[in-house]
């Protein structure tokens, strides 16, 4: 009889396209992946992997079995969801992720609540940007991802995923205390046309949003500094090196020498959870969404 864990390894190899990718998705070592595949080849009596340069590729037999493995694992997951729903208990393992400020702002409160209310549920969490988080959910490496979009730039959610809104997260402009607009109650983004900007790294969703938003207002932004962490961005602002847009979720204390000025017409992110639609009946998914919403209400 085919071993389910070895089929899961083969499925991960087919989805990720490499031994290292499969190992990362399964949270095991590359040697563990290789060992599982060697055992599976011995089990089926056929070669499933062939060398391809420095990597590997699936043979015809490997692709055939991988197609079956994907269907088998999907049915197993559906069976587990139905059993969990029938019991009405949030139990087993739940793998979740969130973008950095949501992980910092929501996970501590939400995960403690889940541990207290559902002691039979084992939650593991990771910090991932929205695109990587949703890809992990689609592949089956994760059960739920906390993602975001901006009020004027929706994030494309892949087909087959369900979603639930968690909170709206306002953002402000942060500027040095000596800035000419630091004493204002509100500011328009256009008023900062000549300023140096501190932004997220190029290619990240929030960086693309900032460029899109400023250019839509007729401002060609002069980005002088990029940093992934909000704390680094705020330190650069405190040093007088530029201004930035900073959402409130997970922001923490603002350094001395930085002023927070709301945007006149409001700038906000929509934060929500996504999961595979075929897992919609799982009590653990619903329990996680409820805990994340409560955490959002607490910080809101």
Q: What is the mean pLDDT of residues 193-201?
A: 93
Q: What is the mean pLDDT of residues 121-135?
A: 92
- The answer to whether residues 78 and 278 touch, using CB atoms and an 8 Å cutoff, is yes
- The answer to whether residues 134 and 158 touch, using CB atoms and an 8 Å cutoff, is yes
pLDDT attached to residue 86: 55
- The answer to whether residues 110 and 284 touch, using CB atoms and an 8 Å cutoff, is no
Q: Please identify, among 85, 107, 135, the residue that sits at the C-terminal boundary of a domain.
A: 85
Place of tokens 């087909």: 159
pLDDT attached to residue 294: 96
Confidence at 198, pLDDT banded by 50, 70, 90: very high
The proportion of the chain whose per-residue pLDDT surpasses 90, expressed as a percent, equals: 49
pLDDT attached to residue 58: 85
Could you tell me if 172 and 266 lie in one domain? yes
pLDDT attached to residue 2: 81
- The answer to whether residues 277 and 162 touch, using CB atoms and an 8 Å cutoff, is yes
- The answer to whether residues 181 and 191 touch, using CB atoms and an 8 Å cutoff, is yes
User: Higher model confidence: residue 194 or residue 107?
Assistant: 107
Which residues, listed in sequence order, are joined to residue 276 by a DSSP beta bridge? 161
Worst-scoring range by mean pLDDT, 94-98, 216-220, 224-228?
216-220
User: Higher model confidence: residue 252 or residue 201?
Assistant: 201
pLDDT attached to residue 84: 66
| Any domain includes 296 | no
| Any domain includes 151 | no
pLDDT attached to residue 123: 95
pLDDT at 136 over 80: yes
| Any domain includes 30 | yes
pLDDT attached to residue 113: 96
Confidence at 238, pLDDT banded by 50, 70, 90: very high
| Any domain includes 294 | no
Does residue 95 sit in helix, strand or coil?
A: strand
pLDDT attached to residue 130: 92
Structural domains in the chain (count): 2
Half-sphere exposure of 282 (CA within 13 A, CB side): 23
In DSSP notation, 237-272 reads: HHTTS-BEEEESTT--PPPTTEEEEEEEEEEEEEEE
Q: Please identify, among 55, 85, 115, the residue that sits at the C-terminal boundary of a domain.
A: 85
Q: How far apart are CA 89 and CA 287, in angstroms?
A: 9
Q: Please identify, among 85, 116, 131, the residue that sits at the C-terminal boundary of a domain.
A: 85
Q: How far apart are CA 95 and CA 222, in angstroms?
A: 39
Could you tell me the CATH number of the domain that includes residue 198? 3.40.190.10
What are phi and psi for residue 249, nearest 5 degrees? -60, 125
- Residue 145: name the closest of 160, 158, 126 by CA: 126
Structural domain of 30: 4-85
Read off the pTM: 0.73
H-helix or E-strand spanning residue 190: none
Could you tell me the CATH number of the domain that includes residue 18? 1.10.10.10
| Any domain includes 105 | no
Q: Which residues of 129-149 are buried (b: 16+ CB within 10 A; e: fewer)?
A: bbbbbbbbbbebbbbbbbbbb
pLDDT at 270 over 90: yes
| Any domain includes 19 | yes
pLDDT in tens, 57-109: 888 888 888 888 888 877 777 777 666 665 667 888 899 999 999 999 999 99
| Any domain includes 77 | yes
Q: How far apart are CA 85 and CA 87, in angstroms?
A: 5
The proportion of the chain whose per-residue pLDDT surpasses 70, expressed as a percent, equals: 97
pLDDT attached to residue 66: 84
Q: How far apart are CA 13 and CA 66, in angstroms?
A: 9
pLDDT in tens, 141-165: 899 999 999 988 888 888 889 999 9
- Burial bucket for residue 266 (CB in 10 Å: 0-12, 13-18, 19+): exposed
pLDDT attached to residue 104: 94
pLDDT attached to residue 111: 97
Residues comprising the chain, all counted: 300
**What is the token pair recorded at 205?**
């969703």
Q: What is the mean pLDDT of residues 219-237?
A: 92
| Any domain includes 184 | yes
pLDDT at 241 over 90: yes
Q: What is the mean pLDDT of residues 47-64?
A: 83
Q: What is the mean pLDDT of residues 280-295?
A: 92
- The answer to whether residues 69 and 17 touch, using CB atoms and an 8 Å cutoff, is no
């Amino acid at each position: 009889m085919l071993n389910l864990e070895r089929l899961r390894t083969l499925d991960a190899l087919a989805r990720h396209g490499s031994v290292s990718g499969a190992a990362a998705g399964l949270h095991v070592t590359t040697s563990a992946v290789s060992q599982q595949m060697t055992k599976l080849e011995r089990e089926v009596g056929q070669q499933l992997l062939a060398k391809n340069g420095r990597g590997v590729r699936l043979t015809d037999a490997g692709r055939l079995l991988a197609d079956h493995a994907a269907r088998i694992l999907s049915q197993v997951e559906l069976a587990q969801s139905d059993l969990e729903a029938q019991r009405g208990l949030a139990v087993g393992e739940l793998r979740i992720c969130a973008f950095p400020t949501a992980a910092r702002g929501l996970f501590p409160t939400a995960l403690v609540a889940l541990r207290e209310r559902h002691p039979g549920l084992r939650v593991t969490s990771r910090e991932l940007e929205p695109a990587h988080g949703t890809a992990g959910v689609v592949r089956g490496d994760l059960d739920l991802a906390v993602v975001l979009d901006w009020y004027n730039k929706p994030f494309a959610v892949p087909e087959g995923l369900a979603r639930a809104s968690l909170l709206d997260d306002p953002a402000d402009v942060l500027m040095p205390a000596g800035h000419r607009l630091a004493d204002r109650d509100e500011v328009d983004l256009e008023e900062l046309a000549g300023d140096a900007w501190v932004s997220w790294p190029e290619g990240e969703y929030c960086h693309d949003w900032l460029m899109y938003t400023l250019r839509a207002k007729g401002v060609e932004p002069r980005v002088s500094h990029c940093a992934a962490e909000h704390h680094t961005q705020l330190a650069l602002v405190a040093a007088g090196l530029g201004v930035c847009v900073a959402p409130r979720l997970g922001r923490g204390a603002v350094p001395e020498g930085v002023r927070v000025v709301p945007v006149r017409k409001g700038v906000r992110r929509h934060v929500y959870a996504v999961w595979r639609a075929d897992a919609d009946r799982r009590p653990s998914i619903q329990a996680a969404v409820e805990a994340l919403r409560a955490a959002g209400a607490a910080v809101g």
